[in-house]
Amino acid sequence: MANRLEENAARHWRFRELITRNNYTTVVERCVCKDDRIPEDGFRLCVTASGRAEISCSNARGERYADEALARLTGKEGTLVAEVEDHPSFALRGIIEGFYGEPYAWEKRHDVIDFLYRHRMNAYFYAPKDDAYHRDLWREPYPQTWLDQIAALVRCARDKEIGFYYCLSPGKDFRFSAEEDYDLLLKKYEQVAALGVDRFAVLFDDICAELSPQDARQFSCAAQAHCHVANILNAKLRHTGSLIFCPTDYAQNTDTPYRRAVRKYLDRDICVIWTGYNCVAEAIPERDCIAARKAFRRPLVLWDNYPVNDFQPKSRIYLDAVCNRTRTIAAYHTGCIANPSALWESSKFALSAMAEWMWNVEMYDEEGAYRRAVREHLGVAEEDYFFAGLNRSTVMRTYPSLKAAFEREDWAYLDGWYVQAERAVLRVRAHCRKELSLEWRDLFNYVLEECRLYRALRSGAEIDGILSAMCSCAYRR
């Protein structure tokens, strides 16, 4: 019995509570009881010795997760007689398509929804920076072909119980003293609301927080103007939850004049997005969460800019698990959204681990989540783990490098390491999914050229052509 539970623990996320006497039964009856006291998406499951599976939950997702737990308790011996309780750390757990670069194709977005469904996440934020209708052409209504695609994606999200959040970024050229712009903005949201969307966000990130002379006659500062837009949308849009607002000062761990204005002018029920003390936060300690809560005094949603790579620019692919976030983080946030990179298939590695973290911050096992992600998306061969290890993120943590081996001239170790690297690339390239192979083509080439470079340096051969080939690769390890 202990071995089976250990096997489950290796393959699945931990239950918050599992109580059992290590005996089995055959389930002959399943009953579900709605209990609003249970946190959203959470559940209680009791399997009695008489074969009755009793599920208590507050919503449909909680019931589904309870059924998944019941399946995990069932094996060749029968179903384990047990009491299980589980619930997420964050009520809102999702992905924001908010990177700079080529937006996802529509079929890829459907795969995003499916990924969310399979990984206990419940929200998708539509906010592609380089979608012209989202940012530069926010005043322009969507053409019918575009609306048809959005409508299909909304239906997909609804069928899989994923909240669809529609976002606009009008801040680059919004005229805060012009009623016409407010009307155009509201019409754009209403165009999407007509498709069944009832969750919205307005984003004022990555813009110049200065008012035009005309706008400055009506508003004391940019933050007041931004809050005015958000408050109007909050009042006029029909939605099931509060509007979400991304301020221009989203990445500090201190108070600012902009944030003081947000405290003064923003509706109290609007959720505020921030990213940690930096746009890409190497760490988020509890003191930074306290500072953000104190600065905004509004419900907070963490926009975690990982595994996005548009800041490098695009020279790394991160296959690592998230880390360096305080275990008390959920006490200060209503939700968390992760920003993937334009390489969707590659992003799944980090996002699988982030899904585990969002569900249970307190019991999150970083290394275990990393290994499960590699196993899920690549395989269990030694070469699979070796290749993924070449692409762990140095943003949040420093990993051992080859520098020390070079400094001590440990050629035996280095010879063996480069043999392993080459073998890993060749195996992964031959066995990985086609979608990954396409995204990793330059990465494969880079590592293989690095192996050639090492051997050329060892033998005194010409290296200029190798260096040129390495520089031509879009991604590096």
Statement: residue 358 has pLDDT above 90: yes
Residue 4 reports pLDDT greater than 50 = no
Report the pLDDT value the prediction gives residue 242, as an integer from 0 to 100.
77
Q: What is the pLDDT of residues 414-424, one digit of tens each?
A: 999 999 999 99
Q: What's the whole-number mean pLDDT along residues 428-433?
A: 97
pLDDT in tens, 295-341: 999 999 999 999 999 887 669 999 999 999 999 999 999 999 999 99
Contact present, 54 and 120 (Cβ < 8 Å): no
Report in angstroms the alpha-carbon separations of 412 from 277, 405, 417.
43, 10, 9
pLDDT grade for 193, boundaries at 50, 70 and 90 = very high
Task: Dump pLDDT digits (tens) for 98-137.
Answer: 999 999 999 999 999 999 999 999 999 999 999 999 999 9
Give the predicted TM-score (pTM) of the model: 0.94
Q: What is the mean pLDDT of residues 81-88?
A: 97
379: left (phi over 0), alpha (psi -120 to 50) or beta: left
Per-residue pLDDT band for 145 (boundaries 50, 70, 90) equals: very high
pLDDT at 201: 97
| Locus of tokens 């509890």 | 286
3-state secondary structure the chain: CHHHHHHHHHHCCCCCEEEEEEEEECCCEEEEEECCCCCCCCEEEEECCCCEEEEEECCHHHHHHHHHHHHHCEECCEEEEEEEEECCCCCEEEEEECCCCCCCCHHHHHHHHHHHHHCCCCEEEECCCCCCCCCCCCCCCCCHHHHHHHHHHHHHHHHCCCEEEEEECCCCCCCCCCHHHHHHHHHHHHHHHCCCCCEEEEECCCCCCCCCHHHHCCCCCHHHHHHHHHHHHHHHCCCCCCCEEECCCCCCCCCCHHHHHHHHHCCCCCEEEECCCCCCCCCECHHHHHHHHHHHCCCEEEEECCCCCCCCCCCCCCCCCCCCECCCHHHHCCEEEECCCCCHHHHHHHHHHHHHHHHCCCCCCHHHHHHHHHHHHCCCCHHHHHHHHCCCCCCCCCCCCCHHHHHCCCHHHHHHHHHHHHHHHHHHHHHCCHHHHHHCHHHHHHHHHHHHHHHHHHHCCCCHHHHHHHHCCCCCC
User: What is the predicted pLDDT for the residue at 5?
Assistant: 42
pLDDT at 3: 43
Phi and psi for 120 in degrees, rounded to 5? 60, 30
